[in-house]
Chains A and B, each alone.
Chain A
Amino acid sequence: MFGIETLGGNAQAAVLVGIVLVEALLLYVGYGGLETLLGPRFRRVLEGQCAVLDALLMRCKTAENGGVER
């Protein structure tokens, strides 16, 4: 996978571990951003206060008090 099979021994091992580390950091940042962006709407859907379609069309308030989270 990713064509790193041509590398040998330590170089291949270092690249493999590096790929896992970079993926972990990217996922941490990426999912963190998504959580900030979509988290309040997702929460309203789970609470049953907003339909999935409304959430997708950004028609839900993110909280009952007009947008201020608990």
Chain B
Amino acid sequence: MDLFGVSVTLLATFTGFGLLIGILFGFFGMGGSFLVTPALLVMGYEPNVAVGSGLAFVFGTSVIATLKHRDLGQVDYKLGVLMIAGTTAGIEVGKVGLEYLQHIGLAGSVVSVAYVLLLGGIGAFVTRESLKGGDGGGLEHDVDEDTDVDEDDIPEIAQKIQSYRIPPMMSLRGGFQVSLWMILAVAFATGLLSGFLGVGGGFIRMPALFYLIGVPVPVAVGTDLFEIVFSGGIGSFLYAQSGAVDLSIVVPLLAGSALGARLGAAATSLVEEEDIKIYFGIMLLLGAVAVAVRQVGGVLEMPVLDSVSLAIILGAALLVSGAVSYSAVRELRRDAAERSVTAEA
């Protein structure tokens, strides 16, 4: 059975996958395209379609998330505009690089290897921070964004970058100053990855804003989402020009993720995030393993490894979103039971 010329089964699959990704996005404040593009690659889509459709999905998701964050005042518009300028240049260079690699037939391999390194590296970092039990994971939700940043709360690398006082200096929310050139350099680097890998950049840029520039976490999340609206929009427009955005992928994914994002966002007020961080790190590591397995399958000409890879990606998303949902329901029931006991007393 078809709808708009697309198999209903495929539409349902993408909607369900979008729901899983949306829960993760709503909970962790990250785009989820790091799961979408590898999944599309594993499903056999051309690299430019996987990247272009991933960017369009990120664009739609970030519009919804930014609308939610708008009223919380967690956006530094000046920083956002500077990030947009640097990111736009980075995306353009990244796209040219990807097209060149496609021309010489290496795009699939290079994008996959870059994903393995990026997902694996960030996954290992988040997992290590979780196991340490510290607060350095950069994923906290409940921080007062109106308070000036305490010097001790600024990561060492950010303090180093803030010490390079190359004019002009920019004053940012949180009461500190950073060189314009440092902001543009970080923006360009994240834009390069965004255009090259087809990610909105949330899982790279939000930690980069916190760890490299020293922006408070809530402002980093809000500003990042504001910026992703533009970078995702520009990126998807550039890919759409060459017909690399497939609406039969993007429309159902977005329908699922918009609902999932609401559920994930609601879960943030219920679940202790420290309990979940380690699952997030493991999910990223499993994503890296999945892409690596697919790559090995390509080299050894074993198509069965493609299916194994897809199963790992879907399993990782299912595992973590399931853990988030289970923890949220458990907390809800515990609260309800406590209220009943209080009422009876």
Contact = CB atoms under 8 A, between A and B. Distances in A.
The judgment on whether A and B are partners is yes
Interface of A: 1-2, 4-5, 9-10, 12-14, 16-17, 19-21, 23-25, 27-28, 31, 35, 43, 46-49, 64
Contact of A27 (B64, B329, B332): B64
B195 to A, nearest CB: 15
B59 A20 contact: yes
A19 B64 contact: no
A31 B60 CA distance: 14
B63 A13 contact: no
A49 B334 CA distance: 12
A64 B339 CA distance: 9
A1 B248 contact: yes
B329 A16 contact: no
Interface stretch (B234-242, B277-285, B303-311): B234-242
Given A1-B4, A64-B339, A24 B333 contact: no
Given A16-B236, A20-B254, A47-B333, A1 B64 contact: no
Given A20-B251, A23-B60, A23-B254, 9 more contacts: A1-B5, A13-B241, A16-B237, A17-B236, A17-B237, A31-B262, A46-B333, A47-B332, A47-B336
Which applies to chain B's interface (DSSP): helix, strand, loop or mixed? helix
Interface in B221-250: 233, 236-238, 240-241, 243, 245-248, 250
A19 B328 CA distance: 33
Contacts of A20: 56, 59-60, 236, 247, 250-251, 254
A33 to B, nearest CB: 12
Nearest to A49: B336
B8 interface: no
A5 to B, nearest CB: 8
Interface string B149-167: 0000000000000000000
B299 interface: no
**Residue from A1, A9, A25 with most neighbouring chain B CB atoms (10 Å):** A1
A47 B238 CA distance: 46
B258 interface: yes
Question: Which 5 residue pairs across A and B have the least CB separation, nearest first?
Answer: A13-B240, A27-B258, A47-B336, A24-B63, A24-B60
